[in-house]
Amino acid sequence: MDDISPLHPRAESLRVRKKLVNGFRLGLVVEEGLTAHGRGEAFDYILGERTTHEAKKAIEAAAAALLLAENPVISVNGNTAALVPDEIVELSKATGAKIEVNLFHPSRKRERAIADWLRRHGAREVYGLDPKFSTKIQEIHSNRRKVDRRGIASSDVVLVPLEDGDRTEALKKIGKRVIAIDLNPMSRTAQAADITIVDNIVRALPLLIKYVHRLSKCCRKSVKELAQSFDNEFNLRATLKLIFKRLKVQSGNHIF
Ligand code: PTJ
């Protein structure tokens, strides 16, 4: 199926899937990335496939945190590279954040393919590939422990989209401020991050860029206030309540 009719009721979802499959064929996405996307889709469906009020609040706080950071880094994996390459580059330019390739499933070939792909989309520099600058974060118990000394290792704020397991907890332990993008509000990453954007990355990143541009015109004091007043635990609870409410309505109020 190559042409997706705009009249198809699930056209947008099909287009996103196609991007991911294309990324898989180009060697950017690993097989597990396809199943990870399915998990995300399920949560997105339950959330109504829209950016919720809570997600917008998190996106605004994330924009503020990125603008206030001294050495912000965007960590890029296979799925992120396939779905939002232009937006990653644009966000990096708007915030000065470095782009670092960091993979859960190790592969030198895929690292290089992702870096080339991002360069083709306008990235000037992509970190995480040069063994000369490679170091390890011992607290991380997966391949993600391999980081760039100029990037994640020396960062103060890290954006980790579509993350797995324990890295967020480990990054927090060593003093980083972590922004996660994860459609699953119950994941360990979502729960451990400082700011969790529970939204599909294809909608969240364009909005994040928009907020960055908007906040860049504000005074530093109000940007700081925005970043400091954000309560991730409260926001995640509100998202879970929203899911509960939607399921309750869908079930004709017969859940309990
Ligand atoms: O390219 P690699 O080797 O670094 O591997 C990337 C994957 C995604 C395979 C790896 O990080 C992984 O296994 O992740 P998990 O543990 O499946 O977690 C990914 C999280 O992202 C899940 O909680 C999904 O719900 C969520 N997710 C998937 N697609 C999206 C998403 N969140 C936002 N937007 C999406 N499009």
Q: Tokens 């409260």 belong to which residue?
A: 234
Tens digit of pLDDT at every position of the chain (256 positions): 468 778 777 778 889 999 999 999 999 999 999 999 999 999 999 999 999 999 999 999 999 999 999 999 999 999 999 999 999 999 999 999 999 999 999 999 999 999 999 999 999 999 999 999 999 999 998 999 999 999 999 999 999 999 877 899 999 999 999 999 999 999 999 999 999 999 999 999 999 999 999 999 999 999 999 999 999 999 999 999 999 999 998 888 776 5
Output the CA 120–ligand 1 centroid distance in Å.
23
Output the CA 220–ligand 1 centroid distance in Å.
33
Query: What gap in Å lies between CA 108 and CA 118, rounded to an integer?
Result: 15
Name the residue of 75, 79, 83 to mutate for ligand 1: max ligand atoms within 8 A of Cβ.
79
Query: What gap in Å lies between CA 171 and CA 113, rounded to an integer?
Result: 26
CA distances 93 to 65, 99, 195, 213, Å, are 15, 10, 21, 11
Output the CA 33–ligand 1 centroid distance in Å.
6
Q: Whose CA is nearest to atom 14 of ligand 1?
A: 164
Output the CA 144–ligand 1 centroid distance in Å.
13
DSSP state of 253: T
Query: What gap in Å lies between CA 256 and CA 242, rounded to an integer?
Result: 16
Name the residue of 37, 103, 164 to mutate for ligand 1: max ligand atoms within 8 A of Cβ.
164
Judge contact between 177 and 65, C-beta under 8 A.
Answer: yes
Sign for the CA dihedral angle at 11, 16, 18, 19 comes to positive
* Beta-ladder partners of 196: 180
